[in-house]
Amino acid sequence: MKKRLQVAVAIIVNNDEQVLIARRHAHQHQGDLWEFPGGKREANETRLEAVQREIHEEVGLQVEQAEPLMQIIHDYPELQVELDVWLVSEFSGEATGKEGQPLVWCPLAELSAREFPAANMQIIERLTNLYLV
């Protein structure tokens, strides 16, 4: 059986319609690709707690309010991921790459020009429809 990871992912959009993206380190799974910040949910936490913790740990922001956007199950050759995607409508703090990862506030219209893991295709489509159509 392939391993399945439950991953909390945050779409953080600022007032200039830019989305926070981070570059995954080369040695990580899906390395060198861009991602929406997030990570694996721990056994003792809710989905919301997971996204709040991951965002604080990785980019130093406080998630004040978030709504579930979509869930994606995607099979990579080596593992399966379940992305639990949240739309963060309110946050505080200044984004910094707490794990040394490059961060970019990327204009929504330019997201599709970046390389993301295959599982992210649907997210980018959804965001394009939500904001740009």
> Which of 12, 66, 119, 127 is in the footprint of ligand 8DG by CB under 6 A?
119
Q: Residues 75-104 vs ligand 8DG: string with x where CB under 6 A?
A: ------x-x---------------------
75-80 contact pairs (CB < 8 A, 24+): 75/2, 76/29, 76/30, 76/117, 76/118, 76/119, 78/2, 78/29, 79/2, 79/3, 79/4, 79/5, 79/29, 80/2, 80/3, 80/4, 80/5
The residue sitting closest to Mg ion, measured at its beta carbon, is 39
End-to-end CA distance of the chain: 40
Residue 117, marked binder: no
Residue 38, marked binder: yes
Task: Say if residues 25 and 98 touch (Cβ distance below 8 Å).
Answer: no
> Which of 18, 30, 80, 128 is in the footprint of ligand 8DG by CB under 6 A?
30
- Pick the piece of the chain touching ligand 8DG (CB under 6 A) from 22-30, 62-70, 107-115, 124-132: 22-30
How far apart CA 29 and CA 86 sit, in angstroms, is 21
Q: What minimum distance in Å lies between the beta carbon of 49 and ligand 8DG?
A: 14
Nearer to Mg ion, 3 or 16 (CB): 3
- Pick the piece of the chain touching ligand 8DG (CB under 6 A) from 12-20, 37-45, 60-68, 106-114: 37-45
**Which residues line the annotated binding site?**
24, 29, 35-38, 58, 120
